[in-house]
Structure 1
Amino acid sequence: MTQDTQINRHQLGRLIGASKCDHFYELHYATGEIARLYILADGTFRLFIDPDKKFDENHSGLVNLSKFNNHFFEKSSPRATSESFIIQSGSFQLIFEQKTATMSIFDESLHRTRFSQLSPIELGSNQTIESLKQNKNEFYFGGGIQNGSFSHKGKRIYIKRDGITGAGGVLSQIPFFWSNAGFGEFRNTNQAGEYDFGKINENAALIKHEDRIFDNFYLIGNSPSDLIYKYYLLTGLPLMPPKYALDLGHMGNFLTTLWKPSEAKERNATMFEDGNYYARTKDPNESSGKASLNGEEEYQFSARGAIDRYQKFHFPLGWLVPNYGISDLEEEALTNFNDYANTHGVEVGIWVKNNLSSLPKSISFIATATDNIAQLQKDTDSLKVNLNRKRPFIISNSGSVGSQAYSALAFGTAGGNWDNIGTQVASLLGAGLSGETLVGGSVDGTTGGGNAQIAIRDFEWKAFTPLLFNINDQSKFSKTPFAYNSKMSNINHAYFALRQQLKPYLYTLIYGTQKGHPFVQPLFMDFPHEQVNYTEQVGHEFMLGSSILVAPITNGREDSNGNSRKDNLYLPGHRTMWIDLFTGEKYIGGRVYNKLSYPIWHLPVFVRGGAIFDLGKRNFVLYPQAKSSISFYDDNGYTDFTHNHTETRVTSDLNSSKLTITIDPVKGDYSGMETNSTTNLNIMCDAYPDRVTVKINDQLINLQEYGTSDAFAHAKEGFFYNTNYSWMPEFDQYREAKQTALQIKLGSRDVTDTKFEIIIQNFNYGSQTLVHSITDSVLRSPKGISLDPAKITAHSLSVSWTKMTDQVQFEINGILYDGIDGDKFTFHELEPNKRYVMRMRYVAGNKVSGWSEPFGAITKHAAIDYAIRNVQTTCNYAENPAHPIKYLTDLKLASEWKTKDQFDENKPLTLTFAFEDVEKLSRMAFIPRNIDRQGTPVEVGIEISTDGQNFKPYGEHINWKADAKNKVIGLRDVSAKAIRMTVYKSSGPLVAGKEVLFFRAKDKD
């Protein structure tokens, strides 16, 4: 046993006794602790150590144990050896070592250990630590929304919500993580935690919580979905929302927002129905209009006016929150507004900050700032009374254990920022892997904005996420999808229309969440055998179910034509064909594509070979490859879905050149279901097939072929080979080449009692795409490759070579990189301080040379690695409680410090930064807030202290511009224990900043 007397923490001592009780095993340790081991289900175990020996099984209130019985515990059997105490539960052995006091779980069905503790559990007066063995190829996920990160190997994450919406922030406190080794842990506590997955020791994962009770659930599963589903069994299945939740939403403040006259040239100006431009203002003296619900003030600024405006621009709303950020509501006005909204197909919700004594009867859902389970349950019950058996819907801007059962998670961040797109993609991936699957980020954020290109790119990819909505009136810029010119609005409308077409597919994905499948998925869910899919390298792309891959544009890099430049796009599966959704261009998987070019209308979206979509009313689109199948689920959108839904299974089997498509009879029913329906198939293909055979309930039917699209359009049944096919007409204005499809119409039949089988001979789709390259001995292997040391950065490497062919390929750390031409290339988006081993070969058509000799380099450390940590900061001005002074030195560029009171030049502001030790510095950097230019220091003075008490001026006063550029002060050869910065002038009424960084001097070799 080891003991740390300084922090009053000790390890469990030797295991000295064990016994089977009525519904748990009891374990006794030499240090006096007693542990209880519960077996709740197959592969679900609970280890409970209470130093006070009270063992309140419901102490946290997080887990509903009533759904578990004693069955699996009773079937378990114990045995003891000279070295351990072993509990057999099904195919699992729970092994408790006597001398080392460690636990492991061995899976007999796989003949391997699922997880094992590295050392005994450590217990303290207010802390517990579990140390786990970490394998080389083991990756970790979960922990809630860790902004900008979904894969945590080699990192430290914090299980403590901080409200920071950008990179490095934590939006939800979920003490649940899991490993691709096939186990997960859920710590049954409300206290903060810190999980170190190899940052300190690459062979260990350290799981720490600020709780003296160790209460942990161990989950064993054969897939990520198994593990997430078992977490749901403990904390609640995710909310099944009403169908309108998938529609476009708007949250705004139509109670207190003021408008002033403006001009078209102003970036934040909005044109209203009277033909004039207006901008938001907080000054009543300059306002000329005020928002309202029903036009009580001025109709064009009202919530009713907003509904009309969305319809005018062909973006009909599905739901609206008219009082975002404002608690007070006049119920009669709300009822009148709700009546108007309902006649336009819009569901109305209210934003709730504090508990309501009663819920207005006219509302359909709630938007809230709470994730308190008791309050969410109360709100859910109130909604059920209002809605008369219709499904309740709650949107929250934060999450916690179990909140997924009652609410969707919708948050906003700063708009107009490229970095936030990539951050949010990874955040949504992490949310789904933590059990928070119904989640979304507001389009173009809540604050900031004003960059049309970023706003458009943000809308495009978010059209493929669970929730599509904007939060308006919190910024000076409008966030609606028609806020910019008609060209931009048309692009947004095309993606909005596409989302509406995909709604049956999206709704089916929501059904899948009930079984543990995230809505937004990482690549490894469908391609688990490729290690790259578990890493942050692919953290900026995601799978929407199993059929669609989305790779958002995450930066402003452009090619010579002004189109977005996309590098480092990975398409998984070397035997998988990927089809560009909009152009039909085909790509082979298993490689990284570079130098791709995307105009502003074109989001990189790829359909997986074998995909099947239902565009609604049994209008199917198929992209045949090998054998694939999908079950589409449907219901009436608002009542009980568990017992009132349908399942339609469609299978596609392309074997050699024979394609067989099967549509099984529809299972189940629901109120309002139409049993008789036509069936349409649109089958993507490359060439005219030989023969089309259709069987209905195993009976052959004659199907006529039509030669023109007009004749086929008027036919009740038949087929047509369409060389000008498009199932996304809104995008036709942007693209020239149409795609080719075989279209089949089948007349109206009772789909609950009809099986369809379609057989197509001599069918070809993408066969040439899957042909792999041939090594040509005539092509010499590359030599004379040069890697420029001067251009090695933390995130990029530049390579040049002798040009022999137009195209070349690279292999980097075992992954093939394609789409590279010319005689030089810079690889971007690399990881800092990582070794990259490369080979290169020439490409000529489908022929390639042999590989070059390996070469490579190590990227540089990121600048942040040299920044001093744990800087203590004080200020003579009070802090804004939502933006505390600690945010100024937390090394998170997404956080922001603000003063509470207005800045007075007669009272200079002083910031004192104290280091733990005397530091030899190189420079300091002040990072201004980039939402606006308000609050940036524009005249400062610097003082140095070597003892933390006495300060001496460092140079003269420094003048800064009030812009978004970092403000750097050279401190070469300066040693300091503390630094004081005095602000004499500010660009606004307050003083604010994102970060102050102090960099150590680099050691010279």
Structure 2
Amino acid sequence: MQLNRHQLGQLVGANKREHFYELHYATGEIAHLYILADGIFRYFLDPNNNFDEAHTDLVQLENFDNSYFEKSRPRATSDSLIIQTGDYQLIFQQKPATMTIFDNHLHRSRMSQLSPLEIAPTQTCEILQQNKNEFYFGGGLQNGSFSHKGKQIEIKHDQITGAGGVISQVPFFWSNAGFAEFRNTTANGSYDFGSINPQASKIAHNDGIFDNFYLLGDSPSQLLAKYYLLTGQPLMPPKYSLGLGYLGNFVSTMWQPSEAKQRNANLFEDGGYYVRTQDETAASGKASLNGEEEYQFSARAMIDRFHKRDFPLAWFVPNYQVPVEAATFATFSEYAKTQGVESGLWTNSSPAFAKGFSFLATNDSSSETLKRSSNVLKELLDHKRQFILTNNGIAGSQKSAALFFGDNGGNWENIGTQVAGFIGAGLSGEPLVGSSVDGTLGGGNAQIAIRDFEWKALTPLLFSIDDQGNYSKHPFAYNHKMTQINRSYLALRKHLTPYLYTLLYQAQLGNPIVRALFLEFPHEQINYTSQVKHEFMLGSNLLVAPITNGREDGAGNSRKDNLYLPSHRMMWIDLFTGEKYMGGRVYNQLSYPTWHLPIFVKGGAIFDLGDRNFVFYPHGQSEITFYDDNGNIDYLHHHTETKVSSTLEGSQLTIVIEPTKGDFTGMTTEKATNLVILCDEYPDGISLKINDQPVKMQEYGTVDTFAHAREGFFYNTNYNLLPEFAQYQPKGQTALQIKLAPREITDSKIELTIRNFNYGAQTLVHSITDSLLRSPKQPSVDQDQITAHSLTITWPKVTDQVQVEINGILYDGISGDSYTFHELTPNTRYLMRLRNVSGNKASEWSEPFGAITKRAARDYAIHGVKVKSNYEANPEHPLAYLTDLKSASEWQTKDKFDETNPLTLTFTFDKLEKLSRMTFVPHNIDHQNDPTEVSVELSLDGQNFEPYGNHYAWKADSKNKVIGLRDVQARAVRLTIHQSSGPLVAGKEVVFYRDKSYFDKTE
């Protein structure tokens, strides 16, 4: 209980002042209401009545004037104050003192407070009404989550980079009901979106001032654009930021000789194998920037190594996490420049010297530091575009910096965790985000490393962070096969760079780069849920579904289930094979060899692969505007826009390329234009107009003759869109290729019409119900195989394929007579129907059947366990992490462990608990510092302890250590560690589970 906590009293008066409304409450509080713009309102309640409008530097108040406030019209009724502004009514109820925002145009409320504000000296809390189909997003990069309905999230930076960690502290959230809130505070907060009461959202911050901005918009992009109006548009980085990056420590890293058989050994140019070491007596080589120690261990040598292996670097930070001398760095920077590499300086605050670097990397995202760093870059770069990397974010940091971080490598879970986190970052106003390939610590699993590189090649930033752990993280760390695959994906990224650059421009307008599926397909509820948290749209044209686990088929290929392709009216095309899929269903039992990342092109997509090489996947109507500039200058006033559209009506395809608008320094205005149009068969009736004048097109019959042609077309039955992948997928696709001679692009409108055109017509044929195909009899759920996350169904086999409908979603690609559905939600009812399928024919549906998944084990975990220890904890790995129920956090002692002074951990519960077991989760980077001998004591009162069992011997490995406590009652448990496998003691989590009868009593 918090003292002096009370609800806001009755509204007793209101006045219209010079630029705000003044609201008076019976409990003595005064609030100021500002109407800043159309759909942007500020409610400011300061219990101390200081009303410092600029009490934080998070908001750009200079962007607003008084005009919308002056046009607002207040009126009073018998029970409320109503302020009309534009299409909105701000309704302030007198008693209870709640606020509702009503949209006159939509004839519904956008948001409503469920009860008056709760106010305390160090915390304020708002409780909102939550509707059944209302979903919530935002809160910064919440690793592992992008959709927060039914969950509680923390608004803080907790330095945890794995699942459940909060990378950026952004007090901003929004709802698909069309409103957003931005709390103008730097204090920590907690947002509960219905985990306790599904009809209420509780928004609390540890700040006695309630300074809240309400934003209204008809789309997510409108809400994000208004958030940017408050806090600043996202950074538009220089073009080189999209290239391959690398961060390493070439100041203090040491190397010692090793053997090839050691898994983390690196082969160097002298023919020897070396591993990193922290033992100066064992080291035979030391890193340096320019080869001052030994060239092969230098940052210069690493640049040469990347280029020699055909991985051209774009940017490089040689002093990651360590200080460096100015003169040494300047010398390195000069060399890097000659190799086409921009050098960045790692700094913990603002740069100590202002020369030699092109960009900055930092762990300080405070407004003050970012502003100082920005000013340094502004002076150093002579007003060229800036680039700052920060490994934690706050509201507004998006205008100065991109968000980057590293995680623990060699872990399948982290891929899915980061996919959801990236999506959530974009929905929180942080579109520029990246995570190091294969993490920083850990690693050593080639399959995970390569799958990580593949999907991150399709994110805003692609980079490695090296020298932090035992394993190298560069893209050629493994064998030739793996290196070649990485090289191919880097080439794919280069092909897509014009598309990525266009997405950077779109981000300025509130469109994330890594997008949740609902941004492109807003009418499907599944897209708002965590069911699709492991896939994303890259812009509007590519769907990426990373491989997130190590499951394999019989051929050793990655097994992919639960892949959802949206919209039953949409055709999706595998980027590499050209295979077409119908949308609106979940695909299962798909197989992908190591080289093949599941990437799907949306029907209608248009790409520019660079220099006006356009690629079309015709379907319906689509258009895109491609942006370009010289990569460094002021993009706002010096860029070009080229609008391209495609319309397929029946069998007639029309393509229009508008004249390019705008200009920039170094622009070439006379260019050739190439078009690749994917198709299924030979089209005829090709007609071309340029500026409304017909142009005759000559057809060429071979690849060679077309290659030498200046203008004309060629029907290619073996076209390879991505030559770098030809070695894996030798069979090409069918495409119409068109060449247009160089013309003035700013003054040329190109119109292309093709008759008898066909692409994907057969794919979009829906299943036909065939009465001759027998309906399945008695499909059922195997009751013995129900878990929290899976259900197994069985059915009498009639056809090779069946389809299953689960809670209204169609699941395809299911064969045999039984199937296990994975990745389900615990304690959830799943209603199913099944039908037999043969080709495009389907039987009638079976009778409905289903089951409820079991509760997750974590449902029985005791929350809020307090822990004390006789050993001080490492400040970066505090003791509280041991009971926070986040598997990504880790506790570690500060002082060395002494067996003569056993370490005690005393865990206390809020009340007497009936237990079932205790689980110790060891850290997973290495197996040093694991407890190897422990004992347990129990207490009924939290004061007096009795031994439980004998000493337990634990192996130093990655397996969870479980101590059975069935039918044990305790108020506290003491775990004593007598021996450790290393000089310290560490662990990820200690979890206490209640007896399973707990829910029988509470429900």
For residue 747 of structure 1, the aligned residue among 741, 760, 765 is 741
For residue 344 of structure 1, the aligned residue among 336, 339, 345 is 339
| CA RMSD of superposed structures (Å) | 1.0
Aligned ranges 1:513-552 → 2 under 5 Å: 513-552=507-546
Q: Give the whole-Å Cα distance in 2 for the aligned partners of 1:769 and 1:535.
A: 27
Say whether the 8 Å CA contact 2:180–2:223 is kept in structure 1.
Answer: yes
Say whether the 8 Å CA contact 1:889–1:996 is kept in structure 2.
Answer: yes
Residue in 2 that maps onto 1:916: 910
Matched, 1:312 2:331: no
Aligned ranges 1:272-311 → 2 under 5 Å: 272-311=268-307
Residue in 2 that maps onto 1:29: 25
What letter corresponds to residue 847 of structure 2 in structure 1? E
The structural deviation recorded for 1:780 is 2.3
Matched, 1:383 2:377: yes
Q: Give the whole-Å Cα distance in 1 for the aligned partners of 2:270 and 2:690.
A: 59
What letter corresponds to residue 299 of structure 1 in structure 2? Y
User: For 1:943, what is the secondary structure of its paired residue?
Assistant: strand
Say whether the 8 Å CA contact 1:237–1:514 is kept in structure 2.
Answer: yes
Aligned ranges 1:252-267 → 2 under 5 Å: 252-267=248-263
TM-score by length of structure 1 reads 0.99
Aligned ranges 1:948-963 → 2 under 5 Å: 948-963=942-957
User: For 1:681, what is the secondary structure of its paired residue?
Assistant: strand
What letter corresponds to residue 175 of structure 2 in structure 1? S
Say whether the 8 Å CA contact 1:676–1:750 is kept in structure 2.
Answer: yes
What letter corresponds to residue 652 of structure 1 in structure 2? S
Aligned ranges 1:610-625 → 2 under 5 Å: 610-625=604-619
What letter corresponds to residue 345 of structure 1 in structure 2? G
Matched, 1:560 2:591: no
Residue in 2 that maps onto 1:759: 753
Q: Give the whole-Å Cα distance in 2 for the aligned partners of 1:511 and 1:520.
A: 13
The structural deviation recorded for 1:907 is 2.1
What letter corresponds to residue 581 of structure 2 in structure 1? Y
Residue in 1 that maps onto 2:826: 832
The structural deviation recorded for 1:334 is 1.2
The structural deviation recorded for 1:354 is 3.3
**CA offsets, 1:284-341, max 9 Å, x none?**
11111010011111111100000000001100100000000102x1222211111110
Say whether the 8 Å CA contact 2:780–2:850 is kept in structure 1.
Answer: no
User: For 1:458, what is the secondary structure of its paired residue?
Assistant: helix
Q: Give the whole-Å Cα distance in 2 for the aligned partners of 1:261 and 1:861.
A: 51
Residue in 1 that maps onto 2:434: 440
Q: Give the whole-Å Cα distance in 1 for the aligned partners of 2:944 and 2:119.
A: 42
The structural deviation recorded for 1:190 is 1.1
Say whether the 8 Å CA contact 2:57–2:367 is kept in structure 1.
Answer: no
Residue in 2 that maps onto 1:644: 638
For residue 661 of structure 1, the aligned residue among 648, 655, 660 is 655
Residue in 2 that maps onto 1:580: 574
Q: Give the whole-Å Cα distance in 1 for the aligned partners of 2:95 and 2:944.
A: 55
Matched, 1:67 2:68: no
Q: Give the whole-Å Cα distance in 2 for the aligned partners of 1:871 and 1:196.
A: 20
Q: Which is worse superposed, 27-36 or 112-121?
A: 27-36
Q: Give the whole-Å Cα distance in 2 for the aligned partners of 1:332 and 1:10.
A: 60
Q: Which is worse superposed, 547-556 or 105-114?
A: 105-114
Residue in 2 that maps onto 1:96: 92
Q: Give the whole-Å Cα distance in 2 for the aligned partners of 1:213 and 1:902.
A: 44
The structural deviation recorded for 1:57 is 0.7
Matched, 1:111 2:112: no
Identity %: 67
Q: Which segments of 5 or more consecutive residues in structure 2 lack a partner in the other structure?
A: none
Q: Which is worse superposed, 58-67 or 440-449?
A: 58-67
Q: Give the whole-Å Cα distance in 1 for the aligned partners of 2:916 and 2:107.
A: 55
For residue 857 of structure 1, the aligned residue among 845, 848, 851 is 851
Q: Give the whole-Å Cα distance in 2 for the aligned partners of 1:143 and 1:908.
A: 41
The structural deviation recorded for 1:359 is 2.7
**CA offsets, 1:368-390, max 9 Å, x none?**
00111111011111011111121
Residue in 2 that maps onto 1:493: 487
Q: Give the whole-Å Cα distance in 2 for the aligned partners of 1:23 and 1:945.
A: 62
For residue 714 of structure 1, the aligned residue among 708, 722, 743 is 708
Aligned ranges 1:176-325 → 2 under 5 Å: 176-325=172-321
Say whether the 8 Å CA contact 2:307–2:313 is kept in structure 1.
Answer: yes
Say whether the 8 Å CA contact 2:776–2:835 is kept in structure 1.
Answer: yes
Q: Give the whole-Å Cα distance in 2 for the aligned partners of 1:885 and 1:132.
A: 34
TM-score by length of structure 2 reads 0.99
Q: Give the whole-Å Cα distance in 2 for the aligned partners of 1:821 and 1:711.
A: 47
The structural deviation recorded for 1:83 is 2.1
Q: Give the whole-Å Cα distance in 1 for the aligned partners of 2:719 and 2:258.
A: 46
What letter corresponds to residue 902 of structure 2 in structure 1? P
The structural deviation recorded for 1:873 is 1.1
Say whether the 8 Å CA contact 1:295–1:301 is kept in structure 2.
Answer: yes
Q: Give the whole-Å Cα distance in 1 for the aligned partners of 2:824 and 2:813.
A: 17
Q: Which segments of 5 or more consecutive residues in structure 1 lack a partner in the other structure?
A: none
For residue 414 of structure 1, the aligned residue among 408, 412, 420 is 408
User: For 2:415, what is the secondary structure of its paired residue?
Assistant: helix
Residue in 2 that maps onto 1:672: 666
The structural deviation recorded for 1:947 is 2.0
Q: What is the aligned length?
A: 999
Matched, 1:333 2:344: no
The structural deviation recorded for 1:835 is 0.8
Say whether the 8 Å CA contact 1:359–1:382 is kept in structure 2.
Answer: no
**CA offsets, 1:100-150, max 9 Å, x none?**
211111111111111111111111121111111111000000001111000
Say whether the 8 Å CA contact 1:399–1:409 is kept in structure 2.
Answer: yes
Residue in 1 that maps onto 2:995: 1001
The structural deviation recorded for 1:786 is 2.0
Residue in 2 that maps onto 1:600: 594
What letter corresponds to residue 929 of structure 1 in structure 2? H
The structural deviation recorded for 1:902 is 1.6
The structural deviation recorded for 1:29 is 1.6
Residue in 2 that maps onto 1:705: 699
Residue in 1 that maps onto 2:499: 505
User: For 2:182, what is the secondary structure of its paired residue?
Assistant: strand
Say whether the 8 Å CA contact 1:425–1:540 is kept in structure 2.
Answer: yes
User: For 1:318, what is the secondary structure of its paired residue?
Assistant: strand
Q: Give the whole-Å Cα distance in 1 for the aligned partners of 2:872 and 2:357.
A: 40
Q: Give the whole-Å Cα distance in 2 for the aligned partners of 1:42 and 1:983.
A: 61
**CA offsets, 1:76-104, max 9 Å, x none?**
11111222211111111111112221111
For residue 866 of structure 2, the aligned residue among 872, 878, 889 is 872
User: For 1:710, what is the secondary structure of its paired residue?
Assistant: helix
Q: Which is worse superposed, 119-128 or 362-371?
A: 119-128
Q: Give the whole-Å Cα distance in 2 for the aligned partners of 1:822 and 1:901.
A: 58
Q: Give the whole-Å Cα distance in 2 for the aligned partners of 1:292 and 1:759.
A: 60
The structural deviation recorded for 1:868 is 1.2
Q: Give the whole-Å Cα distance in 1 for the aligned partners of 2:532 and 2:662.
A: 39
Residue in 2 that maps onto 1:145: 141
Say whether the 8 Å CA contact 2:780–2:849 is kept in structure 1.
Answer: no
User: For 1:956, what is the secondary structure of its paired residue?
Assistant: strand
Say whether the 8 Å CA contact 1:888–1:995 is kept in structure 2.
Answer: yes
Q: Give the whole-Å Cα distance in 2 for the aligned partners of 1:112 and 1:944.
A: 56
For residue 457 of structure 1, the aligned residue among 446, 451, 455 is 451
Q: Give the whole-Å Cα distance in 1 for the aligned partners of 2:688 and 2:349.
A: 61
The structural deviation recorded for 1:244 is 0.5
